[in-house]
Amino acid sequence: MKKNNVSITKIIGAAGLCCFVLLSGCQENLLDSTPYGQITSSQFWRNGDDVVAATNAIYTPLLDEDGFAHTEYTFDNSSDDMVRAGDHGDAEAQLELFTFNASNTHILNTWSTKYEVIQRANAVLMNAPKVVMDESLRTRCMGEAYFLRGFAYWRLSVIWGEVPLILEADVVANNFNKDKSSLEEVRAQAEADFQNAANMLPASYTGEDLGRVTKGSAYGFLTKLYVYEEQWAKAIAAGANITNSATYKLADSFGDNFQLATENNPEVLYGLQYEGGWTTDDSPAFYHTPGGLGGWGFHEPIQDLVDEFEPNDPRLDYSIFKPGDQVTIMKDSVYTFKAGDTRLTGYAFRKYTNFTANGDMSQSLNAPWLRSADVYLLVAEAKIRSGQNGDDELNAVRKRVGLSEKTGATMADIMHERRVELAGENDRHQDLMRWDKAGLVDIVTLYAQDRGPFKPGRTFVRPKHYYFPLPQREVDLSAGTLKQNSNY
């Protein structure tokens, strides 16, 4: 595990920093991006160590507040599971209330971070083939670059739909001022990148490389992409690489996915790798852990989510702090959780909270972004929606936590299981929107419901709110090239 050796997080923090100096300027927007691929071999790209350092540097922006530590999670505040509870003011409130516009700062900041990842990935894909180095290492590094670029385009497509595609040829031509590609084109690029990654990456790692992306990471996101695209046969085939493989088996305990000692277990197909003192201080632990336990408590579950769990479902206790819970802070030190430890609802997400030996909130807990359990449920959904039986995959997830099996499972069963299994993992709002597009739920009515003093009814406008507006700053800088999304 990463806590017992020099892990990828420390590699990124050290070797990746060298690459950082050459390759990074923390770009504010797409049009200001440095053409990394044009850095000459005399400056960099001299040997395999440079390629590995550049590959490590692709991961780094993902860990930042505006990468995936916080800003990405604010999009799920729009769901019916949680409320914003932090002090970031109007920008986050607008996202939850569907009153945002193209000048929203969260929309701009997370856009910039994703294109930073894309630029770094392009640099590796352009230069790694030219370097004299170990062939298997080159293949792995390029597989990582393909995956991370595909992941960035996947998230861009989910949040904005139509976005510019910046690829290797654009870097060579210094062509960064591009109009949007269609949603179909962006998804096709993500698919191609994931497929390349699946062909090039190893199935798993040991030792210091634990935490790097694998074949399972690529096949998992291919499964998700195909479900979003309603390509059921492809989703089932891609998902079989996870559900039929012991390499990506479900953890023995649901809670193993959220504990420092077992956070890189085989079920975690892709997780953000944090290490206190090496990576950013703005980790998801800070934003989810309540103030009473040392965090900032920006995302709080509401009663409606708590009530969704079945009686005796152990996932509730693993997922959510509740008043009266006995919390082990350190050896021989137990704290009784109180409603006053939170800002608003009296509940807090537990998945992102561990403690150091001294009783402080740990900054080293990873954040899972894709687990095998998610893929099992996606495969079950693909089978059910294509007229097949999805009981095996659904019941594998339920059996793990000791719940009774379902027979002839329906989409209602899938919707329930995804809500409780993945609570707080940034899936709920997107799930509801794709089910609304398919006519399986009525998101307008769902979000109009008053869910208590902290989650009043809100007005969701379809199709406008399926996607967010492009950052207005990017549109303005393009001098007419980049067109704003429709409805904004």
- The pLDDT tens digits for 401-460 are 999 999 999 999 999 999 999 999 999 999 999 999 999 999 999 999 999 999 999 999
Q: Is residue 389 part of a domain?
A: no
Residue bearing the bigger pLDDT, 18 or 357:
357
Distance CA(461)–CA(443), nearest Å, equals 9
Give the DSSP H/E element, type plus range, for residue 194: helix 183-200
* Confidence at residue 43, expressed as pLDDT on a 0 to 100 scale: 79
Q: Is residue 174 part of a domain?
A: yes
- The pLDDT tens digits for 116-156 are 999 999 999 999 999 999 999 999 999 999 999 999 999 99
Q: By the 8 A CB rule, do 348 and 289 touch?
A: yes
Q: Is residue 169 part of a domain?
A: yes
Residue 264 main-chain phi, psi, to 5 deg: -105, 35
- Percent of the chain, pLDDT > 70? 91
- Kindly state the DSSP code that residue 456 receives in the 8-state scheme: -
Q: Is residue 267 part of a domain?
A: no
As a whole number, mean pLDDT of residues 41-55 equals: 90
- The pLDDT tens digits for 224-273 are 999 999 999 999 999 999 999 999 999 999 999 999 999 999 999 999 99
- Which residue from 366, 359, 348 is spatially nearest to 288, judged by alpha carbons? 348
Q: Is residue 141 part of a domain?
A: yes
Distance CA(301)–CA(346), nearest Å, equals 8
- pLDDT for residue 1 is more than 90: no
Q: How much is the mean pLDDT over the chain?
A: 91
Q: Is residue 434 part of a domain?
A: no
At 472, is the pLDDT very low, low, confident or very high (cuts 50, 70, 90)? very high
* Confidence at residue 33, expressed as pLDDT on a 0 to 100 scale: 43
Residue 71 structural domain = 2-81+107-229
As a whole number, mean pLDDT of residues 79-104 equals: 92
Give the DSSP H/E element, type plus range, for residue 83: strand 82-84
At 41, is the pLDDT very low, low, confident or very high (cuts 50, 70, 90)? low
- Which residue from 203, 263, 246, 266 is spatially nearest to 4, judged by alpha carbons? 263
Q: Is residue 175 part of a domain?
A: yes
Buried b (16+ CB within 10 A) or exposed e, 292-323: bbbbbbbbbbbeebbebbeeebebbebbbbee
User: Residue type at 26?
Assistant: C
Q: List the CATH number of the domain containing 176.
A: 1.25.40.390
- The pLDDT tens digits for 148-207 are 999 999 999 999 999 999 999 999 999 999 999 999 999 999 999 999 999 999 999 999
Distance CA(407)–CA(202), nearest Å, equals 36
Residue located via tokens 């893929």: 375
Residue 456 main-chain phi, psi, to 5 deg: -70, 170
Residue located via tokens 């509801």: 432
Overall domain count for the chain:
1
Least confident of 2-11, 287-296, 431-440: 2-11
- Per-residue tokens: 294: 């040392």
Q: Is residue 137 part of a domain?
A: yes
- Which residue from 237, 247, 240, 238 is spatially nearest to 269, judged by alpha carbons? 247
* Confidence at residue 87, expressed as pLDDT on a 0 to 100 scale: 82
* Confidence at residue 305, expressed as pLDDT on a 0 to 100 scale: 98
- Which residue from 241, 152, 257 is spatially nearest to 204, judged by alpha carbons? 241
Q: By the 8 A CB rule, do 472 and 103 touch?
A: yes
Residue 163 main-chain phi, psi, to 5 deg: -145, 165
* Confidence at residue 447, expressed as pLDDT on a 0 to 100 scale: 98
Question: CA 30, 24, 151 angle in degrees (round to 5)?
Answer: 60
Q: How far is CA 476 from CA 115, 156, 467, 472, in A?
A: 17, 19, 19, 6
- DSSP bridge partners of 328: 334
